[in-house]
Structure formats: structure tokens, C-alpha cells
Amino acid sequence: MSMVQGQGKTPSTDTEKFFSEVAKDKYIPDRTPYVRESRRVVLKLGTKVLLKHKKGESGALHGLARDIVRFRERGYVFSIVTSGAVGFGMDAMGIEARPTDLKKIQALASIGQSLLMQNWNAIFAESGLHTSQILLTYDIIENRKRYLHARDCFRSVFEYGAVPIVNENDSVAVDELKFGDNDTLSALTAILTDADLLVLFTDTDGIHTRNPYRHGDAERIPFIEQVDESVFGLIEDKQNGLSLGGMRSKLLAAQRSAQMGTGVIITQGFEPDLAALLEGADLGTFIRPNHKYEKKRKRWIFFNHKMKGRVIVDRGAEDALVNHSGSLLPGGILGTEGVFERESIVGIYNTADTLIGKGITNYASAEIEQMKGRRTDQLKSESGAVFADEVIHRDNMIVI
Ligand code: GLU
């Protein structure tokens, strides 16, 4: 169990009792030192927050823009991930229930995206800052070249001093190319921009011990050490007509981001107080980052879910990878599954069919089938075609 509640609470459920015991026995965690060190920040805002602003029911986003201007002068770099294309399209067309037909959703997104950008431009107008629209699709994760182009685009936008406003390219994204929700997209944006901090602004002020809409005694959890099953167990998700994500997808995005070294705050976005958040104020829930994957390439591998195939390794290779930071050599490979090209991301499995790692392969599946079980020096003396000793180099691999 890995989360810690605030001090001085009276536990009323088993879960709460457990947390307060954790808090009693261990240190009281403090987000302040980490948050104050953060300079590259991704802010994610949901449809409900944006629509409220558009309808004039909240002026809070002007305050957010002013804070962005102030903190940029102190060397901060911001990106914004915005939802709302479909929601703005629905609003413009007077539609209340989100259609299920993909063509209609795409059309509404194409209508709404420009309105959404108008809204963002109006928010930033008084600040004098330029915005940049970046629309992403899932295939940039699959294709490292496209991923690097997207990363370079962000860098250049930062050099021009503009604020990237990111959304999924909903009007062209079809099922297999979809992130699905902007929470996942914000986790990707955090990797692309090398962010220290991701702030997920939503309709609830963080993660609670129970559903705060239903239980008056629900308590906010200010600090989560690690997002694991016990944390997922706390949320009851509900979808609504406008937003896709819900708290579960926020937690998944937070889990991924934290695992890749980005701290995460989940907090309410109706009255966002960015300045206070960046000073480390105890608002919402902070999820501590972990620095396991410092190498940027490893972050990309970690994020990349879709593996093109499998490489099955023997016990010696498993030991070398898991316990001795070794690379994967042909001699330890028992076989492959699936047909894949060089430079593909593949899963590394042991003989018990357990995924032990992922990595970018130097060789195609057909080549590995020829090389498996053999020593690299033998292979080299037989053929000039061996260009790398490792099938997967340590730097291109993560062990799970
Ligand atoms: N990309 C969608 C939109 O802008 C939103 C997805 C989400 O709500 O997470 O409408």
C-alpha cells in the first residue's frame, strides 16, 4: 500500500484506518520541494471546465493565463492539453447527447476545434502570448521518427515563445489511432516536452478516500507515493455525456507519468490557482514521480503499448537482463513470435510466458530465428551480416 493521508484525521473506514496508520508510522510526505523545482509543466483541462468558461460562467482561465505569463518570466515552460473539441461542436450545433456514430463525432470535433482555439486565443489575448495548435494522433507513439518530429516541433514552439495548445486530432483519428481520452494524451505530452510536472485539472479536487459526491465523510488524499491497485480501488468511475476520461483514466495517466519521472497533481479546474500549485500549496492530490526511466528513449519504450512481437529468452538471459543490467544477446534467445522488422518494439518473455521487459530490436524476427541460441562471435565469423552484437541493447530496453 502506498498512499498517505493528511495528519490529524479520524479514521472511519478500514481503508482510512490503514492510511492513517501508514501516515503515523512513516514520514509525512511533502510535495513542496519537488513542485518548487519543477520548471517544465503540462496543464490539462477538461471539457466541462472549458465550456463553463466559454459560457461566461467562469473567468478563472484568464487568471490561469496571467499566472502562466508571470511564471514564464521566471523560466517556466508551459504546454496546455485541452479537451473540448467535441463538446464545443455539440454546443454550437445544439446537441446534448454525445453521438455514438464516429463520423458525427469527427464532424463535431472539426467544428468545435476551431471554436476551442478561438476560446484559448481569447484567454491569452490580454497576455500578448501567442498560442500554437498541436493536434496529435496515436501513431506518433508507434513510429519513433514521427515521435521525434513531434518532440522537435514542441521545442521550436517553445523557442518562439508560444504556448502549445494540444488536443487529439479527433477528426482524423479512428479507433486504432486514438488515444481515446486526453488524460493519456497529457501523459504523452509530458514525455514529449520532458515535463517535471503534469497538472490534471478536473471537476473534483483530487483523489478521495471515498467518492466525495456520495459520501460526506470522504477525505482528500494529498499525497500518493505510488499509484497501485489500492489507489484504483478508491474510485468509482462515472462517465458523462461530455468528457471521456473519468478518474480512472486520470489515475492511469498519473501512473504512467509518475513512472516516467513526471510528478502529477490532480486538482479542480473550475477555479485553478496555478500560482499556489507551483508554490507547492496543499491542493488536490500530488503523485510522486519515480526516476526509473531517466533515459528519454526508455520513456518512449515504456509508453509504447503496442508490441510488434515477442522474443522468448532462456533463464540465463532472464537473469542477465533482470539482475545484471545486461543486453539481450542471440545466445539467450529461444525463439520469436510474430513477424516484425528491425527497430520494432517487442516484448521479452521468459519460458513461463511472463513479460519481463520491452525493447527496440536491432534485428527482424526472421533474422533472430537464424541467430537464436548462437554466440555472436560464431555468427560474425560465418556472415558479414551481423552488425550489432546485441539483439536488444540495454539502452533500448526497459525491464518490467
Ligand atoms: N479530444 C476530445 C475533445 O477535444 C476530448 C477527449 C477527452 O475528453 O478526454 O473533444
Nearest CA owner, ligand 1 atom 2 = 83
Taking CA atoms, 277 is separated from 37, 67, 68, 120, in Å, by: 12, 11, 12, 21
Given the CA of residue 243, which atom of ligand 1 is nearest to it?
A: 8
The CA distance from 252 to 270, in Å, is 22
Q: What is the mean pLDDT of residues 209-218?
A: 83
- Give residue-wise pLDDT tens across range 32-89: 988 998 999 999 999 888 888 888 777 889 999 999 999 999 999 999 999 999 999 9
Q: Is 210 helix (H, G, I), strand (E, B) or coil?
A: coil
294 confidence band (pLDDT: 50, 70, 90) = low
| Residue 7, pLDDT above cutoff 50 | no
The CA distance from 200 to 183, in Å, is 8
Regarding the beta carbon of 245 and ligand 1, being less than 6 Å apart is answered yes
24 confidence band (pLDDT: 50, 70, 90) = very low
The CA distance from 348 to 355, in Å, is 6
Q: What is the DSSP string of 106-172?
A: HHHHHHHHHHHHHHHHHHHHTTT--EEEEEE-THHHH-HHHHHHHHHHHHHHHHHT-EEEEEE-TTT
Q: What is the mean pLDDT of residues 346-371?
A: 94
Q: Is 202 helix (H, G, I), strand (E, B) or coil?
A: strand
The CA distance from 136 to 333, in Å, is 37
Closest CA to 265 of 218, 196, 214, 212: 196
The CA distance from 125 to 121, in Å, is 6
Are 259 and 292 contacting, i.e. CB atoms less than 8 angstroms apart?
Answer: yes
- Residue at 81: amino acid letter: V
Regarding the beta carbon of 171 and ligand 1, being less than 6 Å apart is answered no
Which sequence spans correspond to the domains of the chain? 13-299, 307-399
Given the CA of residue 83, which atom of ligand 1 is nearest to it?
A: 4
DSSP-assigned beta bridge partners for residue 358? 347, 398
Q: Is 335 helix (H, G, I), strand (E, B) or coil?
A: strand
- The fold of the 307-399 domain, in CATH, is 2.30.130
Q: What is the mean pLDDT of residues 122-147?
A: 89
The CA distance from 339 to 359, in Å, is 15
Regarding the beta carbon of 181 and ligand 1, being less than 6 Å apart is answered yes
- The fold of the 13-299 domain, in CATH, is Carbamate kinase (3.40.1160)
The CA distance from 71 to 33, in Å, is 17
- Measure 219 CA to ligand 1 centroid, in angstroms: 29
- Average pLDDT of the chain, as a whole number: 85
- Measure 217 CA to ligand 1 centroid, in angstroms: 32
Q: What is the mean pLDDT of residues 204-214?
A: 86
User: Residue 4: which H helix or E strand, with range?
Assistant: strand 3-4
Could you count the other beta carbons within 10 Å of the beta carbon of residue 323?
A: 9
Give the predicted TM-score (pTM) of the model.
Answer: 0.78
